[in-house]
Structure formats: structure tokens, C-alpha cells
Amino acid sequence: MAFLSIENYLTLLPDIQNSPDRSMWLHYDAEADTLYVNFRHPSIAVDSDLTDDDVIIRYDEQNEIVGYTILHVGQRAAGKAASA
């Protein structure tokens, strides 16, 4: 299995440090082309908002963000690679 260079993962560090529990779990569903980003485990949401760029922001009962669901990830990555 091929992995990205470590530098790409290190760019996540500021976001992880600023996350509620200083933790982040990522799961990519290839069939749905969706990336799940969770800041808690388990990540239980009671509400959500869909942004204009197809990102679902998930909230807990205190209205704090518990994670993101990013749709069309493969298309986004392909577009980013093409513009690089």
C-alpha cells in the first residue's frame, strides 16, 4: 500500500491541536467517495449543516462540532492535483 509523504500528514497538525479533544480520526469510504473526519470517538451528532461546498458539519448536544463529512473527496483531490 502506498502512503503519502509524511509532510502531507504534518499539515494536519494545527487542526488537530485546535480540535476539541486534540484528536482526529479519518475514514475514507471509496464507494461513497466520502471522507469522515471525527474529533471524538465515538462521534455522536444530534444536528448537522450542509455547506455550499458539500461538507456536512456535525454537532453534538452542546452545539460543538464533533466532525465533518466531506463529500466528493476523490473529485476534490483530482482537481487539486490538476491545478498543481
Predicted pLDDT of residue 84: 61
Predicted pLDDT of residue 13: 85
pLDDT per 10-residue tile (average), the chain, 84 residues: 70 83 89 93 93 96 93 83 62
Element spanning 49, H or E: strand 47-50
Domain ranges, ordered by start, for the chain: 17-83
Predicted pLDDT of residue 2: 58
CB atoms inside a 10 Å sphere around CB 40: 18
Please report which residue ranges of the chain form alpha helices under DSSP H: 6-10, 13-17, 73-83
